Amino acid sequence: MKKLLPILFLFFSCESLGEQTEYLDYESYIQEAWSAFVLSDYETSINLFNLAINQTNSSDLSSAYSGLGWAYMYKSNNLPGTSNQEQRDIFRDNSFVYFNNAFDLDPNASDILAGLTFLHNYHAEQQIYLYFNDNNFNTNNNDIPDSLQKSLDVSNSLIASDNSYNFIYDDCIDIDNIRFLRSKIFLNLMSFNNDSSHNYLESLINEINAINKFSCTDFTEFDSVINLGQAIECIGHISEFFNSCD
């Protein structure tokens, strides 16, 4: 296991036993924060990204803000169950804030666009769950399609700038994962916006056929996805692989 660099260096002399604190430079904090992240030590990762922001004079903080966005998102994903819903929402709200801060500084960065894609989709899926399972849930008819569209818009920018995207700190996150998420978004949009269902179906099929990691022809009897029934069957098969990635 890779050891994190010490953050504080203590110096003692005969003349003084007081502590002197020496801070790392911005890039060193960022590197160590990601080292903690890949070890699933998200709390340490968050602390190090914050040190990069607060203890250095870097002129571009977008990578630190982006890192905080990812760390809070992964931290929220590690709190399953309804009893953790409130805390999970707080972490995701934090993630939104930091990703938006990063986006303001660097709107073309692939990691930032990917993070926002997932967060907008999380929000939409939570709305969909409440729509079907909570009789007290009130939502405007356009709220769910709007949330889904936000995820699509950001992912459109990601694909346009980096159509072979890969998140280097987690092999589970790549362009195929993004396209799978988009296929589910188009399927959900067909349920909440019937006026454009034909266009959504075409887009749904295109996204499924663009996935390289898994092919529906490996699990089904048809040669390619050409209709809604086949698309739904395909999503069911390949979701087992994407959802089990760890």
Judge whether residue 3 has pLDDT over 50.
Answer: no
Separation CA 185–CA 62 (nearest Å) = 28
DSSP letter, residue 166: B
DSSP class of residue 82 equals G
Q: What is the mean pLDDT of the chain?
A: 86
CA distance 221 to 231: 13
* Domain 20-103 class in CATH: mainly alpha
Q: How confident is the model at residue 9 (pLDDT cuts 50, 70, 90)?
A: very low
pLDDT of 100 > 90? The answer is yes
Looking at residue 207, its pLDDT comes to 93
Angle at 35 between CA 121 and CA 21, to 5 degrees: 120
Query: Does residue 233 carry a pLDDT above 60?
Result: yes
- Which residues make Cβ contacts (< 8 Å) with residue 117, sequence separation at least 6? 151, 154, 155, 158, 178, 181
Mean pLDDT of 146-159: 96
Between 109 and 5, the higher pLDDT residue:
109
Give just the sign of the alpha carbon dihedral 81, 82, 87, 92.
Answer: positive
pLDDT in tens, 11-68: 334 444 445 556 789 999 999 999 999 999 999 999 999 999 998 888 899 999 999 9
Mean pLDDT of the region 224-230? 81
- Model's pTM, two decimal places? 0.85
Query: Given this model, what pLDDT does residue 227 score?
Result: 85
What's the CA dihedral at 57, 60, 63, 69 to 10 degrees? 90
- Summarize pLDDT for 157-207 with one digit per residue, the tens: 999 999 999 999 999 999 999 999 999 999 999 988 766 556 899 999 999
Closest of 200, 194, 205 to residue 227, by C-alpha = 205
pLDDT for 199: 84
Give the span between the Cα atoms of 229 and 168, in whole angstroms.
35
* Cα 237 to Cα 204: distance, rounded to the nearest angstrom: 15
pLDDT > 70: percent of the chain: 84
Write down the residue that tokens 């929402």 correspond to.
89
What is the rounded CA–CA span in Å between residue 136 and residue 42?
34
Predicted pLDDT of residue 104: 98
Q: Which amino acid appears at position 186 of this protein?
A: F
What is the average per-residue pLDDT within 197-226?
79
Going from the C-alpha of 2 to that of each of 24, 93, 171, the distances in angstroms are 18, 31, 18
Q: Look up residue 6 and give its DSSP letter.
A: P
pLDDT higher than 70, residue 230: yes
Amino acid identity, position 151: S
Residue with the bigger pLDDT between 169 and 241: it is 169
Least confident of 72-76, 121-125, 156-160: 121-125
- Of the two residues 181 and 4, the one the predictor is more confident about is 181
Query: Looking at per-residue confidence, does 11 or 144 come out higher?
Result: 144
Q: Which tokens belong to 41?
A: 């030590």
Instruction: Judge whether residue 221 has pLDDT over 80.
Output: no
